[in-house]
Structure 1
């Protein structure tokens, strides 16, 4: 669990609700069902028009990465790769066949299977890099779902404010309704700008960071597997892969 993300959500709510209370508007000033419908439903409608169904579903699926990112242990992976290289040098690449069957990560399993099958280093690199790039691109498109929502939400907030002001203009003859009407109109702007800058855009950035980390680990894995196929010394492989660590 990413505690920083959870803390960010809590502080975002504190900033909006606390700010409203301190400014004298109160919590009730933030409650406006019409503004919520215009901004949130409108933003959802916009992103549905913006993205293909497959991409939209993937974006919703990986949203959890912002709070529970995929777990990677690069140091443990380096140790495993060094162990595999030692086995390959002593017993040959075919000795890794049992490792292939027990490997849970599909990406590593595919690379190990190519090693066992005796594929050329260039072929292993090309195939794995294509797969890595394809996964990265699809994940990035999922992250852009929230980036798009962060772009549309403020505009929908302005639309909500304009619609609210239009309703206020119809009641100009009754000054007692003007103050509350104008306040309600600007609530939509708060929803739009707040949702974009306190949720949608930060979520997109957090997802992109998780995707970049996953790609870095896969790049390291590719380099390790290529080194094994070329018969490099395990110590040299370990020194090379350590360069990928922060």
Structure 2
């Protein structure tokens, strides 16, 4: 699991609460049930209104993708696995990889290798695997768009809550002592709208996008490796070709 999003949200919320304390305010001052219901419920409802019912069933998985995505395997690990498979295929032939395929946990790599062992045409194999990558990218894009939509709706929903609160203030102008607390409560909705957008929803959408990019890059690396194994390329050349696809910064990090 990659905990970066949870850590980031915790740090941001900690900074906000610490600032309130240092300013002499109580964090409990913003814990008001009506604004929370309006902002979170209204934002979620508005975002759901922009997707299909089939998408609604995936929302639980989308939250998991945003908050607890699986860690993407390191590039060096991927390349080493592919080079080892290339060595075995070079020495013993593609059919010798049947036993190795059963040991592989990655379903994408397992599928690609099995298809190559079964004699699938190289061009057809590439089209199938790249199509699977494109489908995954499209699904991840929908998930990221959902959270980005929530990030867009939340501030406006917060303003709606503030307007509702100010209407209540106007109804109590005859009681001057209550106006101050009522105005403060009214602006809590705007606070939660802006806070939730910038601390929760937009970072979660960005995390899904970034995770999708990393996973797609890893899958594209596997496609190239499977193609080279199927073609009978030497392990040394396989390593060189796959390493050339890795960004320089990643190569330095893996070497460190």
TM-score normalised over the length of structure 2: 0.89
Tell me, yes or no, if the aligned pair for 1:78 and 1:238 is still in contact at 8 Å: yes
Gaps of 5+ in 2: 251-256
Q: Distance in 1 between matches of 2:3 and 2:95?
A: 44
Deviation track 1:64-85 (CA, whole Å, cap 9, x = no partner) reads 3444332212212211111111
Tell me, yes or no, if the aligned pair for 1:55 and 1:138 is still in contact at 8 Å: no
What does residue 181 of structure 1 align with?
A: 182
- 2:239 counterpart of 1:238: yes
Deviation track 1:165-193 (CA, whole Å, cap 9, x = no partner) reads 00001111111111111110000000000
- 2:29 counterpart of 1:26: no
Paired residues for 1:192-211 under 5 Å: 192-211=193-212
1:140 CA drift (Å): 2.0
Q: Distance in 2 between matches of 1:11 and 1:70?
A: 21
Q: How many residues align?
A: 246
What does residue 133 of structure 1 align with?
A: 134
Moved more, 19-28 or 204-213: 19-28
What does residue 36 of structure 2 align with?
A: 36
1:12 CA drift (Å): 1.8
1:37 CA drift (Å): 1.1
Q: Distance in 1 between matches of 2:42 and 2:67?
A: 25
Say what the alpha-carbon RMSD is for the aligned residues.
Answer: 1.7
What does residue 47 of structure 2 align with?
A: 47
Tell me, yes or no, if the aligned pair for 1:35 and 1:187 is still in contact at 8 Å: yes
Q: Distance in 1 between matches of 2:161 and 2:20?
A: 19
Q: Distance in 1 between matches of 2:164 and 2:62?
A: 34
What does residue 70 of structure 1 align with?
A: 70
Q: Distance in 1 between matches of 2:68 and 2:34?
A: 33
Gaps of 5+ in 1: none
Tell me, yes or no, if the aligned pair for 1:153 and 1:192 is still in contact at 8 Å: yes
Moved more, 15-24 or 35-44: 15-24
1:5 CA drift (Å): 3.0
The 1:215/1:79 distance shift into structure 2, 3 A limit, reads same
The 1:143/1:157 distance shift into structure 2, 3 A limit, reads same
Tell me, yes or no, if the aligned pair for 2:67 and 2:204 is still in contact at 8 Å: no
TM-score normalised over the length of structure 1: 0.93
